[in-house]
Structure formats: C-alpha cells, structure tokens
Amino acid sequence: MNYNLTFIPARTEKPREYGLTMVMDKGLSLNEAQNLIESSGDYVDFVKLGFGTSLITKNLKEKIKLYQDAGLRPYLGGTLFEIFVIRGLFDGFVKFVEELGLDLVEVSDGSMELDNSVKCDYISELAKRFTVISEVGSKRADVHIPDEEWINMMKNELEAGSWKVIAEARESGTVGIYNKDHSANTKLIDDIVRQVKVENVIWEAPIKSQQAWFIKTLGANVNLGNIAPNEVIALETLRLGLRGDTFFQFLPENMSQK
C-alpha cells in the first residue's frame, strides 16, 4: 500500500487459495489486457475469457501469454465447455485447451442440461490433466434449483475433483444466488456456507452492492468472480475497508460510530 494504515484486514497473497478475484474478459485487446495487468495485476487471480469469446478473439495466444507471464491465470468460460460438449466434441475441447497452453478449465451446465453424474465424470476426467473449477446453477431465470440440490451438486463436484465451485449469477447478477432485483438470495447462500467449505466457493458478484454484501458477510478474503476489468481496484478497496460501503467493517468497536 502507498501508505501504511492501521486496521486494514490481512489479504491473502498470490498464488492464493482463498481471497480470489476472478475477472471477466469479454474480448479485451492486447493493450487493454496490458492496462488491466499494469493497474490491477496484483489483485487478479484468474481471468475468465467469457463464454465463446475465445473462439473469435484475435491474438488469443498472445493475450493468454501476456496474462500468464504477469501471473494472472486465464481460462475459458464454462459456456465454451458446453458449446463443445453439446456438439459431441469433448475431445476437441481438451485439444483446444492444450493448444492454448492453459492449465485451468471450467466445467458448467448453465446453458445445457447435464446429469450431475455425467458432469462429475467430465470433472474427474479433466482433473487428471488440469486444475478444474466447476460452476453450479442455471443461467436461465425460469429454472429453479432447490437449495439442497445446489449443495449436493457442489459437494459432488468438489469430490469429483473440482478445485473450486462457482456459484452462478451471470454477468448481469440477476439469477442463481441473487434475486431479480440484484439482492442476495440469503437463504440459499446461508445454506451453502453451512455445508460447503467457504474457501471452496467462488461467488459471482458483478455488482458493487453484491460485492459489498459478501465482504461484509463472509470477510475480506471471500472469493469473488465476474468482476469487470475496470472495477478490480474498486473491489479491492471494498475488501480492505477503504470505501464507504465497508468503511466500518474492519475497525475496532471504539472507532465504530453506528
């Protein structure tokens, strides 16, 4: 930090097991990726190349190398896994990941239906060669998944070999762990936290109020995902109690005014 302040919560350091920030890259140019690295590289653990963008992004290999050389781990968004699998091209997916030199893959079933045991087979298979993260929850607002099912799937997938599980919210932050008005689905989140190790869950939290809610509820080092590239520094200030929303969060009682 540029000034040594008191009462700043300790943040985990890279390579982080917890306190992770995952950024959504929807097609940044090389220069824009470089801007992200320069300003925010220390605070970004993973860069998700969102949905199918990696198929049509120019200079993809150069961008991947840029991120990797700077210590940010890029990976392909889960929808890309589904795009290959629905076409019966799982082997093609593995080949594509390997050719790009990626060491992390995401398995999801947000767009297509996948029996959870089949999904877990994919996870086990991929876990032999890559670090796997898997995403739980549908992208569709009209699909309701009961709370116990969320938790069972998360447990199954971690057991099958997922390093972390992601709780779905889309880029818009209006489905899955959130209600339509962007507020947290507290009942579901409480249930998850009680039954799954919180260090193993990455919460998609594209909107500031959602990020603040998670930091206030689960601490400075909660894992958060789907962060916009130009919001990384702002998120880090939320984690450290350096923004209005979390101003009092890490202060001792005698400084707290409310």
Site size for its own copies, by CB under 8 A? Answer: 67
119-128 burial by CB neighbour count: b if 16+ within 10 A, else e?
bbebbebbbe
Nearer to its own copies, 110 or 225 (CB): 110
Residues 198-257 that bind its own copies (CB under 8 A): 208, 230-234, 236-237, 240-244, 247-248, 251, 255, 257
Pairing of strands 73-76, 104-107: unpaired
Q: Is the dihedral of CA 68, 74, 80, 84 positive or negative?
A: positive
Number of other residues whose CB lies within 10 A of the CB of residue 58: 9
- The binder of its own copies chosen from 9, 14, 18, 60 (CB under 8 A): 60
- The binder of its own copies chosen from 50, 137, 173, 176 (CB under 8 A): 50
Nearer to its own copies, 93 or 203 (CB): 93
Q: How far is the CB of 7 from its own copies (least distance, A)?
A: 6
* Contact code string over 167-186 relative to its own copies, x by CB under 8 A: ---x-x--------------
Q: How far is the CB of 237 from its own copies (least distance, A)?
A: 4
Choose the binding region for its own copies from 30-38, 144-152, 180-188, 219-227 (rule: CB under 8 A). 30-38
Q: Compute the half-sphere exposure of residue 250: CA atoms within 13 Å on the CB side of its CA.
A: 23
Four-point Cα dihedral 195, 197, 203, 208, nearest 10: 100
- The binder of its own copies chosen from 20, 22, 23, 28 (CB under 8 A): 28
Phi, psi of 215 (to 5 degrees): -65, -40
Cα–Cα distances in angstroms (integers) from residue 90 to residues 81, 107, 115, 125, 160, in the given order = 8, 11, 16, 11, 18
**Does position 98 bind its own copies by CB under 8 A?**
no
- The binder of its own copies chosen from 13, 15, 38, 181 (CB under 8 A): 38
**Does position 193 bind its own copies by CB under 8 A?**
no
Choose the binding region for its own copies from 52-60, 124-132, 155-163, 183-191 (rule: CB under 8 A). 52-60
Residues at the contact surface with its own copies, assessed by CB under 8 A: 1-3, 5-7, 26-32, 34-36, 38-40, 42-43, 50-60, 79-80, 82-84, 86-87, 89, 92, 96, 110-113, 139, 170, 172, 208, 230-234, 236-237, 240-244, 247-248, 251, 255, 257
